[in-house]
Structure formats: C-alpha cells, structure tokens
Amino acid sequence: MSDIGRRLRQIRNARGKSLAVVAGLAGISPSYLSRLESGHRALDRRSLIMALARALDVAPTEITNVALALPGEAEEDRSLGAVRLALFAAAMHARRGRVCGVDELTDRAEHLLEQQRQCDYALVGARLPDLIDDLHTTLAAGRDQREVLRLLVVTHVQGTQAWLGDIGASQDLGWQASTLAADAAQQLGEPAYLAVSGFGTAFGLIGAGGFDLAERVLHDTHPGTAGNTELQMAGMLTLTRSLVAAAKGEQSERAAALDHADNLARYAGEGNALWFGFGPSNVGVWRMTVALEAGEHAEAVRIASTVDPNALPSPTRKSAYWREYGRALARMPNRRDEAVLMLRRAERISPARVHRHPFMHSVLSELLARARDDAIGRELRGLAYRAGLLS
C-alpha cells in the first residue's frame, strides 16, 4: 500500500465513512477508491485529491503531505533549517547579512539560479541562506534598490520557492518565499516582475488546492507583450492557466490556454527569460502535465512522442519530460516496463524531482503492485528503495 493510499484509508476510517459514501461524494466508484487506497491505482491528479479532501472534510495536504525522505539524510535536507531561518528573518526585516554591491549580488544570484536549473540542489541549498540574508540587508540599506528588488523577485521564485518544491519541503515555506517575492514585485511595479511573482503565487495556491484563488491571480496579472521577456512571461502565465483549468475540469478553457501558449511560443522562440525556459519545447512538456492532470494518459503519451527532449532548455525540464512520460506510460496497458525506464531516465538527471514529487510515491506503488522478478522489476525496486518506499 502506498503512503498516500494508507493515509487516505486512515482518514476515511477515522471519519467513519464507508468506501461507497466517500466514493460517491468524490464522484468515483467504490472499487476505484479501493484501488487508490491499496496503491493499485495512483492518486496523481490535483482535481481528484481535492474531490477526496472535500468528501473527507480535510485539507488536501492531510492526504498528500507525507514524509518523502530518502533512506538516509540527503545533503540538501541539511540546508533546509538555514533556509527556513533566512526566510523568517527576511519576513521580520531582521538584518542578518552583509550590504553588498549589486554586481556581486547579481553574479551570486545568477550562479545559484543556473545551479537550480542544473538540479544541483545541495549547492543551491548551501548558498541560499547567505544570499537571502544579503539581498534583504542590502535592500534595507537603500543600496541599488530597483536592481536588488529585481534580484529578490527572481531569486525567491526561481531559486527559493523552486528549490523548496523540488526537495519536497513544506508548502508553507514555499508560500513564504512567494510572498517575499510578491512584496518585492509590488515595490518594483514592473510588469515582467509582477508576472514572475504572480507565477510563484499561483503555484503556491495550486499546491494547496486553491484553484479559484490561483485563477484570480492569473487573471489579474498582465505582463503585456512589449518585448520578448514580457511575451515569454505571458506564455508562462497562460500555461499555468491551462493547468488550473485542467484541475477544475474546464476543457474549453484548458484547450484555449494551451493554444494561446503555442502561439506565443512560436513568436518567442526557444528562450530563457527570467530563468523560465519558455518556448515551443517546454510548451510540449506542459501539455503532457496538463493532459495527466485531466486524466488523459494516452494523450500525454502521444504528446511525448512529439517533443524532442534534447531541445529542452535545462536539465530540470528534461527531468520533468521523462518523469511525466513515465507517469503516463504507467497507466497504459502493457507499457509499464517502458514507464520504469522513463522514470529511471528522469531519476538519473534529478533524483529529487522523482523521489520528492508529490505524485510519484503513488505512481511507484502502483507499478510495484504488478512488478515481476526480472531486470525491469529490479530497476523498479531500486528506484522505489531510493524514493523511500522500500526498506
């Protein structure tokens, strides 16, 4: 039984509700709920998690927020306490860092963001606390304020919030990072950076199941298309709208958003404005994720065959491609061996983005339930062990 499935059954039993009652409230069959609880079906859609949370009268995080630690303590985990304190200090306006020149801060931020794209989470975690302290201390000292505000917005969304999500840290810590970014963006008042913070805020809300709130943020954020940077940010917000629409079951809105993102990507080309990597290839990966959220696994597989992973702008996106491809194949008849191989490719690029992803324990548990004693089975059991599912 998967951690999420076990948690789901424990909550249902604690509520004194039968399979039939919870399934009916969630809009699924009792047999399907039973398979979710046993780990024979992966609980890997935000919309389904929200439906079950409503049926059980609990927060979505009560179902999904389980320990995701690897066997032994990963190096990036040892930095989490220091990053947490840096975020707390920034929220308190406590000056713990140095006042630095903007050139030094820019170099440090760019290096950290590049290492985040390269999936070097140990290095990012080691360097984040001092960078957060120094950025906020320099801002408080009144030095190079507009340049520092720009660095704060991008560092907190693309560095702090992204790193916390990738290592499986608390959603509340990620929300603190996005809030600090939003504060800086409001002070700055530039459309492109308001879009960066809007993206971070929307993703924080999506993770908590706040789809309507996320939709409101996205609706109110308008980067425009004055330049290529603004065009790429408009594309990223449009992709996020498509994910929200999929989670809400709004088919026409989802399709319209994806088509609009395609058009923007054709104009923008393959880019990396503000470290987002927006472009035609990345839109393909987003299409896979959105199809998975809608429960359209065969469509996600079809889309995967049209994407060239070598064209993706960074290891983070390449890892996402292979992970989503594996998630899709895991639900296709007679293609589970391929699913394991795709997930192993993702793991080789970024172990954390497989081991710590909120849906992956459920997917791996479903695959384990049907594993054979052969070479692919050994690959799967090794992956499951490294993800903390097997002892």
Q: What is the CATH number of the domain that holds 46?
A: 1.10.260.40
Contact 197, 178 (CB under 8 A): yes
In the chain, the percentage of residues whose pLDDT exceeds 90 is: 80
What is the arithmetic mean of pLDDT over 11-40?
Answer: 92
Residue 53 pLDDT exceeds 90: no
Contact 389, 365 (CB under 8 A): yes
Count CA atoms closer than 13 A to 166's CA, side-chain side: 30
What is the arithmetic mean of pLDDT over 261-281?
Answer: 95
User: 181 and 87, same structural domain?
Assistant: yes
How many residues are given for the chain?
391
Instruction: Determine whether 254 is exposed, middle or buried from the number of CB atoms within 10 Å of its CB (0-12, 13-18, 19+).
Output: buried
User: 153 and 105, same structural domain?
Assistant: yes
pLDDT at 371: 86
Contact 138, 95 (CB under 8 A): no
Backbone angles phi, psi at 277, to 5 degrees: 65, 35
User: 167 and 103, same structural domain?
Assistant: yes
pLDDT at 54: 87
In a domain, 357, yes or no: no
How many domains is the chain partitioned into structurally? 2
pLDDT at 1: 61
User: 116 and 22, same structural domain?
Assistant: no
User: 147 and 89, same structural domain?
Assistant: yes
CB atoms within 10 A of CB 379: 17
End-to-end CA distance of the chain: 14
What is the arithmetic mean of pLDDT over 178-195?
Answer: 98
Cα separation, 14 vs 342, in Å, equals 37
Q: What's the mean pLDDT when you consider all of the chain?
A: 93
What is the arithmetic mean of pLDDT over 314-329?
Answer: 97
Instruction: Determine whether 370 is exposed, middle or buried from the number of CB atoms within 10 Å of its CB (0-12, 13-18, 19+).
Output: exposed
In a domain, 15, yes or no: yes
Residue where one domain finishes, among candidates 156, 173, 189: 189
In a domain, 158, yes or no: yes
In a domain, 313, yes or no: no
User: How would residue 66 be classed by pLDDT, with cut points 50, 70 and 90?
Assistant: very low
User: 52 and 19, same structural domain?
Assistant: yes
User: 157 and 131, same structural domain?
Assistant: yes
In a domain, 310, yes or no: no
Picking from 189, 203, 194, the residue whose alpha carbon sits closest to that of residue 239 is 203
User: 159 and 83, same structural domain?
Assistant: yes
Residue 223 pLDDT exceeds 60: yes
Cα separation, 373 vs 381, in Å, equals 10
User: 96 and 26, same structural domain?
Assistant: no
In a domain, 133, yes or no: yes
Three-class SS of residue 15?
A: helix
Cα separation, 177 vs 87, in Å, equals 7
Residue where one domain finishes, among candidates 170, 189, 208: 189
Residue where one domain finishes, among candidates 41, 64, 87: 64
Range of the domain at 15: 3-64
User: 89 and 53, same structural domain?
Assistant: no
User: How would residue 72 be classed by pLDDT, with cut points 50, 70 and 90?
Assistant: very low
- List the structure tokens of 78: 């040892």
In a domain, 13, yes or no: yes
In a domain, 106, yes or no: yes
Q: What is the pTM of this model?
A: 0.86
Backbone angles phi, psi at 112, to 5 degrees: -65, -45
Cα separation, 276 vs 235, in Å, equals 10
Dump pLDDT digits (tens) for 73-132.
Answer: 467 778 999 999 999 999 999 999 999 999 999 999 999 999 999 999 999 999 999 999
List C-alpha distances in Å: 4 to 17, 366, 377: 18, 11, 22
